[in-house]
Amino acid sequence: DAKTTQPNSMESNEEEPVHLPCNHSTISGTDYIHWYRQLPSQGPEYVIHGLTSNVNNRMASLAIAEDRKSSTLILHRATLRDAAVYYCILRDSGGSNYKLTFGKGTLLTVNP
């Protein structure tokens, strides 16, 4: 799987938007961009994924750059419950697509 680069940590205030960046300059045309998060003392949970177009769901939005070399996970109004490690992962649509290869992720702190 291609590699991703994320900031080690970010801080936000409650009820403000949060933009979590991810660089994936070596992304291939068949790689999907997935985001998972891991709350303290829990297993990871799926957040959102996309290929080329921006995506929205009830948890977040995913903005994908036109050249696909970067993406941004957007939490529209952060809550204390959103404090977690956020992982940006590339998954190839072919080959061993079962695999999730986690990078180091971004630790998001949300201040009250």
Partner 1 sequence: DTEVTQTPKHLVMGMTNKKSLKCEQHMGHRAMYWYKQKAKKPPELMFVYSYEKLSINESVPSRFSPECPNSSLLNLHLHALQPEDSALYLCASSLPGASTSHEQFFGPGTRLTVL
**Binding residues for partner 1 (CB under 8 A):** 32, 34, 36, 41-46, 49, 85, 87, 91-94, 96-105
In the complex with partner 1, which residue's Cβ is closer, 17 or 46?
Answer: 46
* Residue of 101, 99, 89 whose CA lies nearest to 6: 89
Q: 14 vs 44, which CB is nearer to partner 1? A: 44
Token pair of 36, please? 């998972």
The residue written with tokens 């790689």 in the block is 31
Q: Pick between residue 61 and residue 101 the one whose CB is nearest to partner 1.
A: 101
3-state secondary structure (DSSP) of residue 80: helix
